[in-house]
Amino acid sequence: MIDLFNYRPRQSHRVAVGQRPLGGDQPLRLQSMTTAATTDTAACVAQIKKIVAAGADYVRLTTQGTREAENLRDIKAALALEGIDCPLVADVHFNPRVAEVAATIVEKVRVNPGNYIDPARTFKQLDYTDEEYAAELQCLETRFCALLDICRQHHTALRIGVNHGSLSDRIMSRYGDTPEGIVESCMEFLRVCVKHDFADVVVSIKASNTAVMVQSVRLLCAAMEREGMDFPLHLGVTEAGEGEDGRIKSAVGIGALLADGIGDTLRVSLSEAPECEIPVAYALADYITSTRGGHPEIPALPAPEFDYLHPQRRPTCPVMNIGGSHTPVVVSYRPDGEMADWGTTVPDYVYVGRHLPEPEQRREGMGYIVDADVWQPQNGVYPAFTAANLMFAGACGAVPKFLFLSYVAFNDEVAAFLRLHPETVIVAGTRHPNITADLRALVHTLWRERLTHPVVFMLGYGLGCDQRELYQLRAAADAGGLMFDGLTDGLMLTAQPPKGHKPLTARECDDTAFALLQAGRLRTTKTEYISCPGCGRTLYDLPGTIARIKAATGHLKGLKIAIMGCIVNGPGEMADADYGYVGAARGCVSLYRGKTCVERNIPEVEAVDRLLALIAADGHGAV
């Protein structure tokens, strides 16, 4: 089972993937996927060279039919002439025969349980008796074993890759659209592998909803442990998007699992050139392994009420609009008193240290937090204490207070103060290298002590504005587990780079905090784009379309818009999106409102304008 407070990598067995194994004692493996048509040998080879040069261990190619599968042989031969010996992975949907052909050529084959043997998802509710369901599973085993035999003969590894967006109607009818159903879709195939003694298997569960993805992987690890399995895990957030939002969303989901020692290989799926994914994946993997391995032990105990597999928000008594059932807040860190530069979404509170602005300079609706020794009673101004100066808190009466606190500073005196002052918000910080675990330790200690004060997490990094992407990835990786555990009542991000580096601005830190909360599905402050990374199945100009839609809708708040290259994961992965733009045929697009297709096979040249008209007609403002 996972140790919440001390980094212990999950044990998995080693899987041979060509000359580059994964799992067991191997390092985290990184991968990406080509976007060129798999029948275009030259284009695929050119992309693979770029991906490998960026540092990838494996490259995946979409393999829709036997023509694409057979051409993998030519791609491998062309790579060999270039001196490139990178294991290739065939990505197969809908057609078992294609997987069987590919398994004779490449080092690994990915199949999707949702559509490998079951028909494509239709969102129909089907009723199965136990006997009928068992018969379906027997059919699955018979058909799947043919692939296992070929893989065994050719020393080909297999990835059982479940996507939330393509669960079969059979699974949906028995388990619903739940993490438990996602896990069972995977376990059905793994049980066949175990029964037939085939161990060269990697497992993945992906979703565009990070909360669903993280909980499903946690449940999968527990299910495998119960049944004596230790298959290695491939991590990824599918349809994460592009730019900063895509990176942050991927890092929140993947980072939350890596921080708990889960994961043997990963892909950061971005709607960009595939080689752009590798530096992001490397930065995530390097950060977790460099800060977690061999860190000082944290002697904390979990709260008995906490359920890692089915987390709920920690019960707290609200202080103002912090905690309880309130949406998590963002606190801006501005101890220098700089009050001019604010983002589109303004933080709820601002910590100003000793530099409280004059009343006429304060923003309406924003709370101001000042150091306790300079605090004076004023509307909307609150004192901040540390564990060292709690003796002065009584003079403030029952006014809401903030307490900067770390796990190592928590003691009986602090506990006594908190029992006397339920109007206190804790700002939890740490200097421990394992940031997630140390902050967890503080909150679980509060929980065990029956202290229900809300907690705002303060995350600080010594990185400058020239390292903004790295800053965002680290903050996302550290905050992910805290958000998915239900421990987060707010975030405050700081940046204090070494001398000679220009710091990130407070606005950049605030914007990152809002982006983290949105990526963790805790607070929505802008339009969310669920866009696939593209592959050889993409049926239209994906990057150009994303740019046009974002330019026209970026000002809207609270919407989710899915932009999907093809039908494979489209309707399912965008199930909670408000609108969907899905490739239907070469140069044709279908539009969705929720799960319902409202316009079919629109010419690509008209489709963006028709989507924008649909959004405007539904009353979401000018687009």
- Alpha helices, DSSP H only, in 82-209? 96-102, 130-154, 169-175, 179-195
CA 115 to chain centre: 23
As a dihedral over the C-alpha atoms of residue 162, residue 163, residue 166, residue 167, rounded to 10 degrees, the angle is 50
What residues contact residue 277 under an 8 Å CB cut-off, 6+ apart? 32, 267, 268, 269, 270, 533
- Spatial distance between the Cα atoms of 10 and 66, rounded to a whole number of angstroms: 37
Asked if residues 418 and 425 have their Cβ atoms less than 8 Å apart, the reply is: no
Residue-range domains of the chain with CATH: 29-290 (3.20.20.20), 329-519 (3.20.20), 528-617 (3.30.413.10)
| DSSP SS3 for 158 | strand
* pLDDT at 122 exceeding the cut of 60: no
DSSP 22: B
What is the arithmetic mean of pLDDT over 424-438? Answer: 97
Q: Which amino acid is at 312?
A: Q
Cα pseudo-dihedral 316, 318, 321, 327, rounded to 10: 20
> Is 33 buried (19+), middle (13-18) or exposed (0-12) by CB count in 10 A?
buried
Query: Any residues with CB less than 8 A from the CB of 342 and at least 6 apart, and which?
Result: 363, 507, 510
Instruction: Determine the Cα–Cα distance for residues 430 and 385; give it in Å rounded to an integer.
Output: 16
With tokens 């993947």, the residue in question is 254
Summarize pLDDT for 267-301 with one digit per residue, the tens: 999 989 999 999 999 999 999 999 988 889 999 99
3-state secondary structure of 60: strand
Kindly report which listed range (40-49, 109-118, 451-460) carries the lowest average pLDDT score: 109-118
Q: What is the pLDDT of residue 143?
A: 92
Distances (CA, A) of 290 to 82, 266, 387, 434, 477: 34, 17, 30, 10, 13
pLDDT at 567 over 90: no
* Confidence (pLDDT) at 568: 64
Q: Based on the number of CB atoms within 10 Å of its own CB, is 34 exposed (0-12), middle (13-18) or buried (19 or more)?
A: buried
The reported pLDDT for the residue numbered 542 is 79
Q: Residues 220-234: what's their mean pLDDT?
A: 98
SS3 65: coil
How many residues are present in the chain?
623
Distance CA 459, CA 429 (A): 7
Q: Over the chain, what is the mean pLDDT?
A: 92
pLDDT at 237: 93
Question: Is residue 623 predicted with pLDDT exceeding 70?
Answer: no
Residues 48 and 245: their CA atoms lie apart, in Å, by 25
What is the pairing mode between strands 579-585 and 560-564? parallel
CB 317 within 8 A of CB 453: yes
- Residue 344 pLDDT: 86
Alpha-carbon distance of 33 to 31, in angstroms, equals 7
The SS3 call for residue 288 is helix
CA-nearest of 101, 102, 132, 98 to 117 is 98
Give me the phi and psi of 52, to 5 degrees please. Answer: -65, -40
- Flag the least confident range among 45-49, 176-180, 330-334, 427-431: 176-180
At 58, which amino acid appears?
A: Y
Residue 60 · residue 32 · CB < 8 Å = yes
Out of 245-254, 470-479, 535-544, 595-604, which region has the weakest mean confidence (pLDDT)?
Answer: 535-544
Please tell me which residue, 338 or 66, carries the higher pLDDT value. Answer: 66
* pLDDT (average), residues 51-73: 96
Q: Is 591 in contact with 599 (CB distance < 8 Å)?
A: yes
What pLDDT score was predicted for residue 621? 62
Residue 606 has pLDDT above 90, yes or no: no
DSSP-assigned letter for residue 171: H
What is the distance, to the nearest Å, from the Cα of residue 172 to the centroid of all Cα atoms in its chain?
23
Nearest of 274, 221, 288, 308 to residue 12 by alpha carbon: 221
Q: What percent of the chain has pLDDT over 70?
A: 96
Beta pairing class for 58-62 and 88-92: parallel
Q: Which long-range contacts (CB under 8 A, 24 or more apart) does 51-54 make?
A: 51/274, 51/275, 51/278, 52/84, 52/86, 53/275, 54/275, 54/276, 54/278, 54/279
For residue 454 the two structure tokens come to: 């809300």
pLDDT of residue 569: 56
Distance CA 487, CA 205 (A): 24
H or E element that contains 159? strand 157-163
User: In one letter, which amino acid is 348?
Assistant: D
Q: Lowest-pLDDT range, 66-70, 88-92, 171-175, 534-538?
A: 534-538
Q: Which of 177, 90, 494, 179 is nearest to 330 (CA)?
A: 494
For the ranges 7-11, 114-118, 307-311, 427-431, the lowest mean pLDDT is seen at 114-118
Residue 622 in this model has a pLDDT that exceeds 70: no
| Residue 465: predicted pLDDT | 84
Average pLDDT on 377-390 reads: 95
Which residue in 45, 158, 42, 47 sits closest to 96, CA to CA?
Answer: 158
CA–CA dist 529, 579 (Å, integer):
10
DSSP letters for 322-353: BSTTSPPEEEEE-TT---S---SSPPSEEEEE
Cα torsion 326, 328, 333, 334: sign? negative
Please report the pLDDT score of residue 121 as a whole number.
56
Q: CA–CA separation, 436 vs 307, rounded Å? A: 17
pLDDT band with cut points at 50, 70 and 90 for residue 120: low
* pLDDT value of residue 358: 93
Our CA angle for 241, 245, 250, nearest 5°, is 70
Which pLDDT does position 56 carry in this prediction?
98
Tokens 């494996």 sit on residue: 58
